Structure 1
């Protein structure tokens, strides 16, 4: 049984929503960030980057306190309002042929703790603690966890009925993405949505593992301190049908060949792969267990020798795990994928060309491209209680910050 509930969101007033909503902080180039902060006083970036006002880079407790102050200012200036009644918030994102409709809701920390909300990535304790302290200090959460569910016809019909009304928000951002939002206040609709989710055996985290873990940590700390509230028992999520999630691959680039010559390196790879040299046209692999490699100005396709590799579980069948176990760890000597400075990751539609450019410039020695992991593979990993190697998936949609805010 999955537990979700409506909440009273803090959100932008209608005429400023397009100015407030921002992409994830990490997605902005430095020039773009500075331009937005300088020319858009309503951007949510002012809240999460409060030092701009004082021309100072802030960190730690000082930054957290000023984030809270900027948030209060947005409330005081009526840039933000708080809904009078709890609601679910239906949010549609559309660009070109891609369209998705999901639900902003409060999701149960208990469900996460007991494994009803399943994860497929490991988290870092230091990041969990830092973000939990951040949440405790600022008192709100503006970045929802992206969670998937297996849709039912009943829920699909119900949500589509709600979107026949005029949306509260309807705006298009400069990346040509159209955003629409419908608050659902009606008690009968809320009851039906809640009931449908209560019949689901499991939900799956697509993006936001550290946000889930830190919310759980904060709830435990609040209980121990005796100041926990109902708000601590839930965190904000964006619930989306799993069929509407788009998953892309992360490429891997390594700075050196671990002391091997090109010829020695290729001979080592021959143990586990059939190797074919390909024209320099950025060939991407098209099947599972096939890898594209760029080395010394040449592209290669690597085909896994299945006689030389043993599949034992869902994780062992994952291409990112195969690459780690057959090349990155034993040949290139990279044991810690999270912290080794010799490896870097890239994503994007044209990333295989970017990978080539980085290697041609001498920033890296070799690069690998993989086919994207599927939603079914993510579920198999999560159901088995396993975790993927880092940077196994780049998942869309990427959500705007500041559209709905969950106060703790």
Structure 2
């Protein structure tokens, strides 16, 4: 059963919510970051990058301590305040036709240890330790881990009920994302939410594997240092944003390669024909319409690539993924690309950036060929996890992307 609980969030006052919250630090360009830090004194980015105003460059534990101090300063100035009782927090993010709903809650690390919280990526030990030490010194989670659960009618009814009332926060960002948040403080609703999650045998990490692993690292470390450990201390929990799998959106990462590994275009197409039925589609934008179907842009033309099942065998959930298929049939054997993470000849970009992405990236001269993929489904992702396998790199671009500093969970509370 999944063990979640309400918590007393530290969050910005209503009048400062739009100014205080931010995108994840690594999503800002240098220019955007400078503008935010120079002209918005309430931005949570000041906590993440302390010392900017006084032109102080910090690193390591010294920086972590300054993060904690700046966070305390924000609370002392009452930019952030702590709720008087534990609550769940209902958050809605919308743009265009996409509307995402989720519950922000405290999630127990034991569920991660016991494989109730399931992962689709492996993590690096050095990053777990680095961020775990950061959490221990800074003392808070400011951006929740994105978790997904099976669609649930009881939870959906609670969401609809609160959506009829005025939100505690309602603000639009300059990227045209509308954010709303309601405080779920009714004891019956809180109990219902907790009980519904207790009925779930598994929930899945959608985004935030290293944050989860780091929280687990810190919990284990503090457990050994606490002779009176009970398992209910705040350091045993991390902040999660729990969203129905029916409400999750997965987009694809397209692949771009700088050369054809010494082949001419004609030789390359001939090599592809071993695994694919190839059709020339011309200059008009063309995208794949189902799994095991790819688009390709080469020499000013789009092509469709249909996988020949006779030459490629699907024997588990991993081999069913298009990201695995393209690696095993094209990138590795033909183009000589063995590792997406380290090979400088390949670049992976989320397809949401531009409908004409293949054409623009290749025609710009930076790449010789581009491949468009069909998005991985939630069922495919779960199947990989349930077989205790791992997703290939750059398989999923998962939304919603969450804001930092909307709610904060204090580890040392």
TM-score, reference length from structure 2 = 0.94
User: 1:190, CA displacement in angstroms?
Assistant: 1.2
Aligned to 1:137: 137
Q: Is the 8 A contact 1:50 1:66 kept in 2?
A: yes
| C-alpha distance 219-367 of structure 1, shift in aligned 2 (>3 A) | same
Aligned to 1:180: 180
Q: Which moved more, 1:353-362 or 1:396-405?
A: 353-362
Q: Is the 8 A contact 2:351 2:357 kept in 1?
A: no
Aligned to 1:27: 27
Q: How many residues align?
A: 408
User: 1:44, CA displacement in angstroms?
Assistant: 0.9
The counterpart of 2:245, out of the listed 242, 245, 248, is 242
Residue 294 of structure 2 corresponds to residue 282 of structure 1 = no
1:195-206 paired onto structure 2 within 5 Å: 195-206=195-206
Q: Is the 8 A contact 1:251 1:352 kept in 2?
A: no
Aligned to 2:400: 397
Q: Is the 8 A contact 2:254 2:351 kept in 1?
A: no
Aligned to 1:53: 53
Aligned to 1:105: 105
Query: Which secondary structure state, in structure 2, belongs to the residue aligned with residue 308 of structure 1?
Result: coil
In 2, Cα distance between the equivalents of 1:45 and 1:294?
A: 39
Alpha-carbon displacement from aligned partner over 1:155-199 (angstroms, at most 9, x marks no partner): 211232233333211222222222111122232221111111101
User: 1:57, CA displacement in angstroms?
Assistant: 4.9
Aligned to 1:68: 68
| C-alpha distance 356-55 of structure 1, shift in aligned 2 (>3 A) | farther
User: 1:271, CA displacement in angstroms?
Assistant: 1.1
Residue 164 of structure 2 corresponds to residue 161 of structure 1 = no
In 2, Cα distance between the equivalents of 1:62 and 1:86?
A: 32
Residue 38 of structure 2 corresponds to residue 18 of structure 1 = no
Aligned to 2:147: 147
Q: Is the 8 A contact 1:141 1:406 kept in 2?
A: yes
Query: Which secondary structure state, in structure 2, belongs to the residue aligned with residue 54 of structure 1?
Result: coil
Residue 373 of structure 2 corresponds to residue 370 of structure 1 = yes
Query: Which secondary structure state, in structure 2, belongs to the residue aligned with residue 349 of structure 1?
Result: helix
| C-alpha distance 286-56 of structure 1, shift in aligned 2 (>3 A) | farther
Moved beyond 6 Å, runs of 4+: none
Aligned to 1:261: 264
Unaligned segments of structure 1, at least 5 residues: none
Query: Which secondary structure state, in structure 2, belongs to the residue aligned with residue 316 of structure 1?
Result: helix
Aligned to 1:82: 82
In 2, Cα distance between the equivalents of 1:280 and 1:133?
A: 52
User: 1:56, CA displacement in angstroms?
Assistant: 5.1
Q: Is the 8 A contact 1:251 1:351 kept in 2?
A: no
In 2, Cα distance between the equivalents of 1:273 and 1:125?
A: 39
Unaligned segments of structure 2, at least 5 residues: none
- Superposed CA RMSD in Å reads 1.7
| C-alpha distance 279-28 of structure 1, shift in aligned 2 (>3 A) | same
